[in-house]
A and B are shown apart, each in its own frame.
Chain A
Amino acid sequence: EGQLLESGGGLVQPGGSLTLSCAASGFTFGNFAMSWVRQAPGKGLEWVSHISGIGRTSNSADSVKGRFTTSRDNLKNTLYLQMNSLRADDTALYYCAKHLVGWDVFELWGPGTLVTVSS
Chain B
Amino acid sequence: DQQVKQNSPSLSVQEGRISILNCDYTNSMFDYFLWYKKYPAEGPTFLISISSIKDKNEDGRFTVFLNKSAKHLSLHIVPSQPGDSAVYFCAASDSYSGAGSYQLTFGKGTKLSVIP
Q: Do A and B bind? A: no
Q: Give A residues with C-beta under 8 Å from B.
A: none
Q: Give B residues with C-beta under 8 Å from A.
A: none
